[in-house]
Chains A and B, each alone.
Chain A
């Protein structure tokens, strides 16, 4: 079980959280001008990183807020958690 540092509440056990998938995926700004390939990338294509992965979590059974995290998917160790809208605090993340 993971111990996750919520940026608002502190360290809590994994069952309090919901996983939100890859972070920093921006919805296309001009939907009408967006090609099917770009929609495919937005909706379906994922980095599925083997290494440091930028991802979203939501503290559903705590404060209810979304935040971002950097986790190494080869060890499941968290490098950092940070608030939505902030950039990854560690270089080398495959965001």
Chain B
């Protein structure tokens, strides 16, 4: 792997940019691996990277049915924050946030990580109580979060209309360490890093079966490119997790919904931060390319189509136009959907399964991007040690049976 540097860029500039090489090999599947990761999104590629770098497992493969980063990794709104209510969640998401802070340097890959601040608006008395409870819980847990008055919110984000709207802004919670990152770069950076450590990244390779031996433990996966023997399988398949896990006879508390997002035509830098409103349901930031990146809600019904109905983004745009009148004449450029796997408590599952050697990392619902490095890091630990890292120990499959829910669904209601 040739390291990227200012000098390398300068040298390539003199040579007409013709010296760049592919950033990872187009690997052919081998007959056997020490571990196989199913799903080549950010979480899966990151898992392979940390398995190789921190746990010395170099003989591993990432199987991706399409192309890497072509699923939810390339479809999210790139928002990063860790201001979750419960201690378990705050620990998990803040673990991720701390890894984000050093990720570009660690991977020698520009994640375009920008801690521009995530501001969550309150529009009702109930909103204010919930948001202030979040602020206090976060500060007690060592996670930064602060309460802003409407005037302070407007000073932090000048385009914001706090006054003459149906639901005026009564205050806001601001996490200054939150922000955005380039979503594609996360997949590419982890792929490049994992590949350099010997991991095989195999695209266009769909898993069609998971085989267990006489003792019940995982022995192999069947794929569209042949059978691959392996004693450990980590499934990180987002919206298709239920489908993959059914191959091993494991039923999960998941439902897959379309989640939509859209971007505007690109404009000059006008929007300094990330703003989210749960009550009127919209969230928005501006990419470095200049497009406003706007998140809408999930459609009402389960689906695998990667598209949804127009009334969902239209609802989000109505909220955006209320909050930011200057965007009313902007045209929207693209609109798409991704399939998100939602758990009953809106917290992920990062755990062993009843099948020995089979591990699952799923249930990130509508907000998995922000957790990518942390999720991958603790999932790699779980696979390597056959037991959870202390940070993901509460995020088991058994918590639903035992009643130990981490109920962020009740805590935030929407928009994770």
Q: Are A55 and B400 in contact (CB under 8 A)?
A: no
Give chain B residues whose Cβ lies under 8 Å from the Cβ of A47: 242, 251
Give chain A interface residues in 39-63, CB to chain B under 8 Å: 39-41, 43-50, 53, 55
Q: Are A73 and B303 in contact (CB under 8 A)?
A: yes
Interface of chain B: mostly helix, strand, loop or mixed: loop
Q: Mark A17-28, 1 if CB is under 8 A from B, else 0.
A: 111010000000
Instruction: Kindly state whether residue A2 has any CB partner on chain B within 8 Å.
Output: yes
Q: Are A75 and B302 in contact (CB under 8 A)?
A: no
Give chain B interface residues in 281-301, CB to chain A under 8 Å: 300-301
Instruction: Kindly state whether residue B240 has any CB partner on chain A within 8 Å.
Output: yes
**Selected contact of A14 from candidates B251, B255, B309, B402, CB within 8 Å:** B309
Give Cα A75–Cα B306 distance, bound, in whole angstroms: 10
Q: Are B253 and A53 in contact (CB under 8 A)?
A: no
Instruction: Kindly state whether residue B329 has any CB partner on chain A within 8 Å.
Output: no
Q: Are A73 and B302 in contact (CB under 8 A)?
A: yes
Q: Are B311 and A1 in contact (CB under 8 A)?
A: yes
Q: Mark A80-93, 1 if CB is under 8 A from B, else 0.
A: 00000000000000
Q: Are B255 and A19 in contact (CB under 8 A)?
A: no
Give chain B residues whose Cβ lies under 8 Å from the Cβ of A39: 401
Give chain B residues whose Cβ lies under 8 Å from the Cβ of A15: 311
Give Cα A69–Cα B310 distance, bound, in whole angstroms: 22
Q: Mark B96-128, 1 if CB is under 8 A from A, else 0.
A: 000000000000000000000000000000000
Q: Are B303 and A76 in contact (CB under 8 A)?
A: yes
Give chain B interface residues in 250-287, CB to chain A under 8 Å: 251-256
Give chain A residues whose Cβ lies under 8 Å from the Cβ of B302: 21, 48-49, 53, 55, 73
Q: Are A2 and B309 in contact (CB under 8 A)?
A: yes
Give chain B residues whose Cβ lies under 8 Å from the Cβ of A2: 301, 309
Give chain B residues whose Cβ lies under 8 Å from the Cβ of A75: 305
Give Cα A51–Cα B256 distance, bound, in whole angstroms: 12
Instruction: Kindly state whether residue B159 has any CB partner on chain A within 8 Å.
Output: no
Q: Are B243 and A50 in contact (CB under 8 A)?
A: yes
Give chain A residues whose Cβ lies under 8 Å from the Cβ of B310: 1
Closest to A40 in B: B401
Query: What is the distance, in angstroms, from B201's C-beta to the closest C-beta of chain A?
Result: 25
**Selected contact of B309 from candidates A1, A37, A48, A74, CB within 8 Å:** A1
Give Cα A71–Cα B341 distance, bound, in whole angstroms: 18
Q: Are A21 and B240 in contact (CB under 8 A)?
A: no
Give Cα A47–Cα B253 distance, bound, in whole angstroms: 9
Q: Are B253 and A76 in contact (CB under 8 A)?
A: no
Instruction: Kindly state whether residue A10 has any CB partner on chain B within 8 Å.
Output: no
Q: Are B304 and A73 in contact (CB under 8 A)?
A: yes
Q: Are B400 and A48 in contact (CB under 8 A)?
A: no
Number of A-B contacts (CB under 8 A): 66
Give chain A residues whose Cβ lies under 8 Å from the Cβ of B70: none
Give chain B residues whose Cβ lies under 8 Å from the Cβ of A41: 251
Closest to A48 in B: B242
Q: Are A48 and B254 in contact (CB under 8 A)?
A: yes
Give chain A residues whose Cβ lies under 8 Å from the Cβ of B231: none
**Selected contact of A48 from candidates B255, B300, B305, CB within 8 Å:** B255
Instruction: Kindly state whether residue B344 has any CB partner on chain A within 8 Å.
Output: yes
Closest to B245 in A: A48
Q: Are A44 and B344 in contact (CB under 8 A)?
A: yes
Closest to A45 in B: B251
Residue among B304, B310, B400 with the highest chain A CB neighbour number at 10 A: B304
Q: Are A46 and B309 in contact (CB under 8 A)?
A: no
Give chain A residues whose Cβ lies under 8 Å from the Cβ of B254: 46, 48
Give Cα A15–Cα B301 distance, bound, in whole angstroms: 12
Q: Are A18 and B300 in contact (CB under 8 A)?
A: yes
| Known A37-B401, A50-B243: A55·B301 in contact at CB below 8 Å | yes
Query: What is the distance, in angstroms, from B144's C-beta to the closest C-beta of chain A?
Result: 34
**Selected contact of A76 from candidates B242, B252, B305, B311, CB within 8 Å:** B305
Give Cα A75–Cα B307 distance, bound, in whole angstroms: 10
Closest to A53 in B: B302
Give chain B residues whose Cβ lies under 8 Å from the Cβ of A53: 302
Q: Are A73 and B305 in contact (CB under 8 A)?
A: yes
**Selected contact of B256 from candidates A44, A48, A76, CB within 8 Å:** A48
Residue among A18, A19, A39, A44 with the highest chain B CB neighbour number at 10 A: A44
Pairs A-B, 3 closest by C-beta atoms:
A44-B253, A48-B242, A19-B300
**26 A-B interface contacts by CB (under 8 A):** A1-B309, A1-B310, A1-B311, A14-B300, A14-B309, A17-B300, A19-B301, A21-B255, A37-B401, A40-B253, A41-B251, A43-B400, A44-B344, A46-B242, A48-B252, A48-B254, A49-B302, A50-B240, A50-B256, A50-B304, A55-B302, A71-B301, A73-B302, A73-B303, A73-B304, A76-B301
